[in-house]
Amino acid sequence: MSQQLAAQTGPSLGSRHVRVLIIGGGPGGYVAGIRAGQLELDAVVVDSQPMGGTCLNIGCIPSKALIHAADEFAVAAEQAKGAPLGISVSAPTIDLGRTMAWKDGIVQRLNHGVAGLLAKAGTSVIEGRATLLDGKTAEVTGLDGSTQRLTAEHVIIATGSEPMALPSLPFGGPVISSTEALALTDVPTGLVVVGGGYIGLELGIAFAKLGAEVTIVEAEERILPSYDRQLTTPVARSLDTLGVKVLTSSRAVELADDGLVVEGPNGRRTVAADKILVTVGRRASVRATGLEHLGLTMNNGFVAVDDRCQTSMRNVWAVGDVTGEPMLAHRAMKQGEVVAEAIAGRPTVFEPISIPAIVFTDPEIVSVGLGPDEAEAHGLDVIVGRFPLSANGRSMTLASEVGFVRTVARADDHLIVGLQAVGRSVAELSTAFGLALEMGARLEDVADTIHSHPTVGEGLAESAMAALGHALHI
């Protein structure tokens, strides 16, 4: 049968029965499809967008491309000011349209890569929209208007999430979501970012480096309120250095002719801007999916699942953002893998020790497991080791000594319960951090492991040694 079933002509393509119907081709859906195919399950993935979902098409991949371009532009601008590295350049300029075209090329390559992986696994893809009629039946409308009915023994809901708007700031005109921000072809003169979480800060910092006048409006008393203050303080200092204005304990009220009305501790004021980026959170994308026909148990607007990602209806599963926090692609991928194996009859559960979280700000933040305050809130007596990157040779050679690596371990048996870092290039430490917790490492395990020199990763061993009371390089 053709890989692109919806490309056939005619008002109706009849019906088809499959073992597994996957609604949504994002990280959770396409991984479920690949793994199902590997396990020789007859599976179909339905999505109206190119394979990859929000993360690949309008989220993590394009945003990291923009962040990289902004970083490169900022480095060139710094060299033009004083040549601190001995590199002399004239004042740089940027053609954001060409930058976005480069970003789109990366996305398209990855789209084709995911489609190829599904084809290699023997899983079909239908380009269209699926609406559930019941727990085993979906009506699929192809991009060409053709329709067909699919019945399945198992249904996997992987419809992802979508940006939340504010009642006073509906999307449209100057009010944009992250989706529109990642498609701009001109750098805004003034940009107000409503929401000081990771999405708002990542994009706000990128546009500030590209030359926009950026203001962050955050309702809480500080930025990144879900991260502890030690991790966020270096980011706050970076915002100040970049000239980004941060209005905390403030809320967006309404649009003004030339910007946004903001209410804060000192009353109301108008912040000038030609673009207003709203990043106040995301909600489950369930509209037009027919979920209301199933009567599934929900949890604050998200689909409730058990430790195998099964919903309250037998043989109906859900993975990824549609199941709630943390809304991370790598969580969705693992859930997709677990569900495919569960359907194949393998003993499996989604029971991670921890899920790494990364904020791609300047500097970056990575957190796995419990921070010191969280550990104490859980009743744990912990010891903490912290190694400053100002003592790390590799950080010095990167001309970025801001930040630290931190290890949190139980005081009684030295079991590591959390690892965090803030600094340049620390996102790459997330793999080692996650592995250490998943494998049940103790301080001695990390301290006794030879870490390559010179690397930022040496900070992991040094922080473990610091917790043991014998750090070598501080």
Q: Distance between CA 212 and CA 425 in Å, rounded?
A: 24
For the record, the structure tokens of 65 come out as 């491309």
* E strands in 135-289: 137-142, 147-157, 161-163, 175-176, 190-194, 213-217, 245-247, 251-256, 259-264, 267-272, 275-278, 282-284
Whether the Cβ atoms of residue 280 and residue 222 lie closer than 8 Å to each other: no
Q: 59-87 b/e with 16+ CB inside 10 Å = b?
A: bbbbbbbbbebbbebbbbbbbeeeeeeee
The three-state secondary structure class of 137 is strand
Residue 409, phi then psi, degrees to nearest 5:
-140, 155
Q: Distance between CA 155 and CA 33 in Å, rounded?
A: 11
Whether the Cβ atoms of residue 368 and residue 59 lie closer than 8 Å to each other: no
Give the residue ranges of DSSP H helices in 122-228: 178-181, 198-209
Whether the Cβ atoms of residue 441 and residue 467 lie closer than 8 Å to each other: no
236 forms beta bridges with none
Residue 181, phi then psi, degrees to nearest 5:
-60, -35
Q: Distance between CA 131 and CA 398 in Å, rounded?
A: 51
Whether the Cβ atoms of residue 55 and residue 189 lie closer than 8 Å to each other: no
Whether the Cβ atoms of residue 198 and residue 67 lie closer than 8 Å to each other: no
The burial class, CB within 10 Å (0-12 / 13-18 / 19+), for 203 is buried
- Residues assigned a catalytic role: 453
Query: Which residue reads 């088809």 in tokens?
Result: 16
3-class SS letters over 317-334: EECHHHHCCCCCHHHHHH
Residue 302, phi then psi, degrees to nearest 5:
-110, 155
